[in-house]
Chains A and B, each alone.
Chain A
Amino acid sequence: MTKRIALTGNEAMALVMKQINPDVVAAYPITPQTEIVQIFSQFVADGEIDTEFVTVESEHSAMSAVIGASAAGARAMTATSANGLALMWEVVYIAASCRLPIVMAVVNRALSGPINIHCDHSDAMGMRDSGWIQLFGENAQEAYDNALMAVRIAEHKDVMLPVAVNMDGFIISHAVENIEIVANEDVRDFVGEYNPERYLLDVQNPITVGPVDLQDFYFEHKRQQVEAMKKAKNVIQKIADEFVNLTGRKYSFFEEYYLDDAEIALVAMGSAAGTAKAAIDELREQGIKVGLLKLRVFRPFPAEEIVRALSHIKVVGVMDRAESFNTMGGPLFSDMRSAMYDGEANVRMINIIYGLGGRDITVTDIKNIIQKVKDVNNTGKIENLVIHYGVRE
């Protein structure tokens, strides 16, 4: 039995964590994630679930505690944002390299400084190369769904990698939406029991976790992590296929919105994709052949599939909600261009950096951005490879 209820993104995330009922959650509150752990800790305090909730004094400790729990053999989760995630950095890498299937909600927020509590993707991009799988959702429904699938992806024996479930701070985390909730027993059946192959508390088969691994083995372990990322692609698709049977909601590496017959297209992640759809709906009515590729899986980067989906497009505008300061565009743009470089098709690309520090992005803004993409298509000239859209001159 599914039901529809009105929830904020944070409430939806706390609820799905309750339904998953992990063995251990260790978390520290940070805006705009605070509500997740606040609501979740209330569930624990009220005895609604039996999760061991560890209150810690920092995010570094939160990640360390879930690493310890996961290594011990527990299903472990946490949640964070922005500078809290940055404070976890060191241990975030250790979670991935120890191959611990931790699931973490990341409520995306700009990294300081100057201090800013609003949405952009600089926190997620900071953990980009840490070896975590990174999923992005457009709204609270997708954040909820991604969290459910994340548990299965992370724990799949071919993967054994931690997964970050991203949702845009405030825009998704604090806005109320009507979302469809999976029934408790269906969640339980879907995520199943976690039975790790090897774990610390298995006294019959003792293991050591996190030993020194110098010149002679470190490189081999990194290579294994790459392999797990490659295999994660199959697993992500397989679990999405199971999920559609459960909920009717269809997921893949990305969503194609009016891409089939599009001449120009945008690529976006997170809530801006929803805004882009509204803009595209309007422009389509005017006969403008524009589409959207909404990326859901950022790591592993589904390069081949993206190339296939965009091969017929003439100009693509890649929207980045983070800077990388390489002066050649944002992190998504770098991956997109790298993916397309070897493609047969002659797709041209520009980068639109938008929405940093929570700067609003409206349907009108997206239409302006699409106009810039259209200009490149009309003139055949790229005047500005990287546009910082919405910045005051």
Chain B
Amino acid sequence: MATPAKKPGWRDIPIGGRIEEAGNAHKYHVGGWRIRRPVWVKENCIHCLFCWVFCPDSAVEVHDGKMHGFDYNHCKGCGICAQECPAKDKAIEMRPEDVENKFDN
């Protein structure tokens, strides 16, 4: 896991904890919370995009209407996608997290 950059002091942050920039949740990497990681089993995938619809963290990557895998920076490992995947031979497996390698890979 990368060392986090030094954070700003009390003089330099907006008051009241308010977030003054829209869409910055993207910068908050919750991948470090994960203890189990979803792994995409490409051959079983029917590209129904249920995983994408259900993922509470927008961590399923979809391009041109097709499932492409996971954004591990933002996947917190809740397993909802695997639970909801309707493919006959599940196209998402939850595997124990590789603690050395939680983020993008």
Name A residues whose Cβ lies closer than 8 Å to a Cβ of B: 97-100, 160, 198, 205-211, 213, 216-221, 223-224, 227-228
Contact of B10 among A99, A205, A209, A223 (CB under 8 A): A223
B16 lies within 8 A of chain A by Cβ? yes
A198 close to B18 (CB less than 8 A) = yes
Q: Contacts A220-B9, A221-B10 given: A207-B20 contact, CB under 8 Å?
A: yes
Q: Which chain A positions have C-beta within 8 A of B18? A: 98-99, 198, 207-211
Tell which of B9, B14, B16, B20 has the most Cβ of chain A within 10 Å: B16
B2 lies within 8 A of chain A by Cβ? no
Which residues of chain B from 3 to 23 have a CB within 8 Å of any chain A CB? Answer: 7-10, 13-20, 22
| Nearest A-chain residue to B4, judged by Cβ | A216
CA distance in complex: A217, B4 (Å): 14
- Chain A min CB distance to B5 (Å): 11
Q: Contacts A207-B19, A210-B17, A217-B17 given: A224-B10 contact, CB under 8 Å?
A: yes
Counting from the closest, the 7 A-B pairs by CB-CB distance are: A99-B16, A220-B10, A208-B19, A223-B10, A206-B22, A213-B17, A98-B16
Q: Which chain A positions have C-beta within 8 A of B22? A: 206-207
CA distance in complex: A223, B9 (Å): 10
A contact patch SS: loop
B19 close to A97 (CB less than 8 A) = no
Tell which of A208, A210, A211, A218 has the most Cβ of chain B within 10 Å: A208
CA distance in complex: A211, B33 (Å): 18
| Nearest B-chain residue to A223, judged by Cβ | B10
Tell which of A209, A211, A216, A220 has the most Cβ of chain B within 10 Å: A220
Q: Which chain A positions have C-beta within 8 A of B16? A: 97-100, 160, 209, 221
- Chain B min CB distance to A197 (Å): 9
- Chain B min CB distance to A198 (Å): 6
- Chain B min CB distance to A222 (Å): 8
Please list 21 pairs of residues, one from A and one from B, whose beta carbons are closer than 8 Å in the complex, sorted by A's number: A97-B16, A98-B17, A160-B15, A207-B18, A207-B19, A207-B22, A208-B18, A208-B19, A209-B16, A209-B17, A211-B18, A211-B19, A213-B17, A217-B7, A217-B13, A219-B10, A220-B8, A220-B9, A221-B10, A223-B10, A224-B13
| Nearest B-chain residue to A99, judged by Cβ | B16
CA distance in complex: A350, B93 (Å): 71
Q: Which chain B positions have C-beta within 8 A of A218? A: 17
Q: Which chain B positions have C-beta within 8 A of A98? A: 16-18
CA distance in complex: A97, B18 (Å): 10
Q: Which chain B positions have C-beta within 8 A of A207? A: 18-20, 22
Contact of A211 among B7, B10, B15, B17 (CB under 8 A): B17
- Chain A min CB distance to B15 (Å): 5
Contact of B17 among A97, A205, A206, A228 (CB under 8 A): A97
CA distance in complex: A220, B9 (Å): 7
| Nearest B-chain residue to A212, judged by Cβ | B17
Q: Which chain B positions have C-beta within 8 A of A100? A: 16
CA distance in complex: A85, B40 (Å): 53
Q: Which chain A positions have C-beta within 8 A of B13? A: 217, 220-221, 224
Given contact pairs A97-B16, A160-B16, A211-B18, a sample of 13 additional A-B residue pairs in the complex whose CB atoms are under 8 Å apart? A97-B17, A98-B18, A198-B18, A198-B20, A205-B20, A207-B19, A218-B17, A219-B10, A220-B9, A220-B13, A221-B16, A221-B17, A224-B15
| Nearest A-chain residue to B9, judged by Cβ | A220
Q: Which chain B positions have C-beta within 8 A of A206? A: 22
CA distance in complex: A206, B15 (Å): 15
| Nearest B-chain residue to A213, judged by Cβ | B17
- Chain A min CB distance to B30 (Å): 11
Q: Which chain B positions have C-beta within 8 A of A205? A: 20
| Nearest A-chain residue to B8, judged by Cβ | A220
| Nearest B-chain residue to A205, judged by Cβ | B20
Q: Which chain B positions have C-beta within 8 A of A216? A: 7
CA distance in complex: A218, B7 (Å): 12
Q: Which chain A positions have C-beta within 8 A of B20? A: 198, 205, 207
CA distance in complex: A208, B22 (Å): 8
Interface readout for B8-47 with A: 1 if CB under 8 Å, 0 if not?
1110011111111010000000000000000000000000
CA distance in complex: A98, B10 (Å): 15
Q: Which chain A positions have C-beta within 8 A of B9? A: 220
